[in-house]
Amino acid sequence: MRFQATAGAIFAGLAVVFGAFGAHGLKGTIPPERLETFQTGVQYQLAHGIALLLLAALHGKLACNHRAQATAWLFTAGIVLFSGSLYALALTGIGTFGMIAPLGGLSMIVGWAVFAVNAALAKPTEDPQP
């Protein structure tokens, strides 16, 4: 749980920093389509940083801690590969970086699938009576 919470907070916080950098530091310095690519990386990083925080918040409520850890590592790999490659592509204009993004996207998709299975297999909890 510590890894998920720490990684989630770091990735989400950095997404805010990168978003501000893109909006204020890169605007006018790179072509609009590359700025859009950069912002896509920011959006996916922020979403998956928050997903890591959600995973940490659900600690002990999911069916298997090993699957939760696998989900965390898949999201982390996805952020690094997908968002990282989009940042590199946007900043350098080197199209080869774009070929890495699908690996990160696949990692994120598999992470969500593992998360869904883990949530579906969790034992139901009783809601407290009002």
DSSP letter string over 71-124? HHHHHHHHIIIIIHHHHHHHHH--GGGGGTHHHHHHHHHHHHHHHHHHHHTSPP
Can you give the pLDDT at residue 124?
Answer: 77
Average pLDDT for residues 2-31, to the nearest whole number?
95
The range of the structural domain enclosing residue 73 comes to 2-120
For residue 10, tell me if it sits in a domain: yes
For residue 22, tell me if it sits in a domain: yes
- Identity of the amino acid at 97: F
Q: Does pLDDT of 127 surpass 80?
A: no
Contact 81, 107 (CB under 8 A): yes
For residue 125, tell me if it sits in a domain: no
Can you give the pLDDT at residue 60?
Answer: 87
For residue 15, tell me if it sits in a domain: yes
Can you give the pLDDT at residue 130?
Answer: 62
For residue 130, tell me if it sits in a domain: no
Q: What is the tally of structural domains in the chain?
A: 1
For residue 126, tell me if it sits in a domain: no
For residue 18, tell me if it sits in a domain: yes
pLDDT digits (tens, 9 = 90+) for 35-81: 999 999 999 999 999 999 999 999 888 888 999 999 999 999 999 99
For residue 128, tell me if it sits in a domain: no
